């Protein structure tokens, strides 16, 4: 049985327990809506606007890809090519939905949250690598926001602990959201770190100010995707509060480790009006192989 088939089996088991759970299908199955959707490139280009370059005097933050590889959050060699290929397949339907060309209309489809039921399923790994992949898109740019306030792993990975961030603009209405956007030397990639951590993050995420901040993060640039790392859905209330502002939510599920009931409980916390998709992470562990670049993704269809 191939890795993908094994991953599909895993998701099928989930569905057999709960008809509203995601239906397991092969990533190569062209009948799967999200895999079959190919965005209309011309219309995507129409939809996209010219890039908004940062002001000339804004220093660009150096992204040290070698350092990210050294700490293991980015693969190298063959694994990098494999991961890149899988992310390519994963991002197509996300981009189509963001551009309003998905299988169904989704409000704020350009706001995408990477979520998981419990800690350690690969949210930060996915957010980082997906952001780097999205940044390579000609018609889009990506603003990667560290929405995991307690752990702030992305903030630390990019060495932005001392930089103002999301918490600062949420607590201080005088501060302009655009001032906490970090423009990087990787074309198409911008970052928003956590800033001064705040124990009231859930309340701040649920506030009207949060909605205004997100609108400002997007600005008038309709080609900008907002991609959020987040804390685990079942461990904190913050992720659910953050999720209310999103158009698309990707639930990362660690293969062979997260119990079905846990995944189902996480799905129950999500608003089904959003574009919800699942990624089975580390699927190749099922075959006893290196699990870099071992995603298996599908859209959550039963809405």
Ligand X SMILES: Nc1ncnc2c1ncn2[C@@H]1O[C@H](COP(=O)(O)OP(=O)(O)OP(=O)(O)O)[C@@H](O)[C@H]1O
Binding mask 148-187 for Mg ion (x = CB under 5 A): -----x----------------------------------
77: left (phi over 0), alpha (psi -120 to 50) or beta: left
Binder among 146, 153, 168, 238 for ligand X (CB under 6 A): 153
Complex with ligand X: residue 151 or 223, whichever CB lies closer: 151
Give the burial string for 134-143 (b: 16+ CB within 10 Å, else e): bbbbebbbbb
Residues 279, 144 contacting (CB under 8 angstroms): no
Residue 258 interacting partner from Mg ion, ligand X, none (CB closer than 5 to 8 Å by kind): none
Establish if 230 lies at the interface with Mg ion (CB under 5 A).
no
How far apart (Å, rounded) are the C-alpha atoms in residues 280 and 282? Answer: 7
User: Using H for helix, E for strand and C for coil, what is the string for 262-284?
Assistant: HHHHHHHCCCCCCEEEEEEECHH
Considering only the stretches 56-64, 119-127, 168-176, 182-190, report the one whose residues sit in contact with ligand X under the rule CB under 6 A. Answer: 119-127
User: Shortest CA distance to 101 belongs to which of 171, 146, 47, 162?
Assistant: 47
Q: Which residues is 253 bridged to in the sheet?
A: 280
Establish if 224 lies at the interface with ligand X (CB under 6 A).
no
Complex with ligand X: residue 296 or 300, whichever CB lies closer: 296
Binder among 99, 113, 125, 131 for ligand X (CB under 6 A): 125
Considering only the stretches 49-57, 118-126, 189-197, 199-207, report the one whose residues sit in contact with ligand X under the rule CB under 6 A. Answer: 118-126
Establish if 151 lies at the interface with ligand X (CB under 6 A).
yes
| Sign of the alpha-carbon dihedral angle for 45, 88, 110, 178 | negative
Complex with ligand X: residue 153 or 238, whichever CB lies closer: 153
Residue 282 interacting partner from Mg ion, ligand X, none (CB closer than 5 to 8 Å by kind): ligand X
H-run or E-run covering 151: none
Residues 222, 48 contacting (CB under 8 angstroms): yes
Binder among 22, 39, 93, 122 for ligand X (CB under 6 A): 122
Task: Give the nearest distance from C-beta 180 to ligand X in angstroms.
Answer: 21
Return residues touching ligand X (CB under 6 A): 72-73, 116, 119-125, 148, 151, 153, 232, 281-282, 291-292, 294
């Amino acid at each position: 049985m191939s890795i993908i088939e094994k991953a599909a089996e895993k998701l099928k088991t989930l569905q057999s327990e709960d008809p509203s759970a995601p239906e397991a299908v092969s990533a190569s199955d062209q009948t799967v809506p999200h895999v079959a959707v190919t965005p209309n490139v011309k219309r995507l280009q129409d939809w996209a606007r010219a890039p908004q370059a940062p002001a000339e005097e804004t220093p660009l933050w150096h992204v040290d890809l070698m350092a990210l590889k050294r700490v293991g959050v980015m693969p190298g060699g063959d694994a990098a090519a494999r991961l890149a290929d899988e992310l390519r397949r994963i991002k197509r339907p996300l981009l189509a939905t963001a551009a309003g060309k998905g299988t169904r209309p989704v409000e704020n489809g350009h706001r995408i949250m990477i979520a998981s039921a419990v800690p350690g399923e690969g949210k930060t790994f996915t957010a980082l690598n997906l952001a780097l992949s999205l940044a390579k898109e000609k018609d889009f740019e990506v603003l990667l926001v560290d929405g995991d306030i307690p752990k702030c792993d992305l903030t630390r990975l990019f060495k932005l602990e001392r930089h103002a961030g999301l918490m600062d603009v949420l607590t201080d209405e005088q501060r302009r959201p655009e001032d906490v956007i970090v423009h990087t030397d990787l074309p198409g990639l911008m970052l928003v770190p956590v800033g001064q951590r705040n124990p009231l993050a859930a309340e701040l995420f649920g506030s009207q100010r949060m909605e205004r901040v997100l609108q400002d993060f997007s600005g008038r640039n309709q080609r900008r995707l907002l991609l959020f790392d987040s804390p685990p859905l079942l461990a904190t209330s913050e992720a659910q509060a953050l999720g209310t502002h999103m158009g698309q939510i990707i639930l990362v599920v660690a293969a062979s480790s997260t119990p079905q009931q846990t995944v189902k409980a996480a799905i129950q916390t999500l608003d089904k009006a959003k574009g919800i998709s699942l990624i089975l992470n580390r699927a190749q562990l099922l075959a006893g192989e290196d699990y870099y670049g071992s995603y298996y993704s599908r859209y959550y269809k039963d809405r």
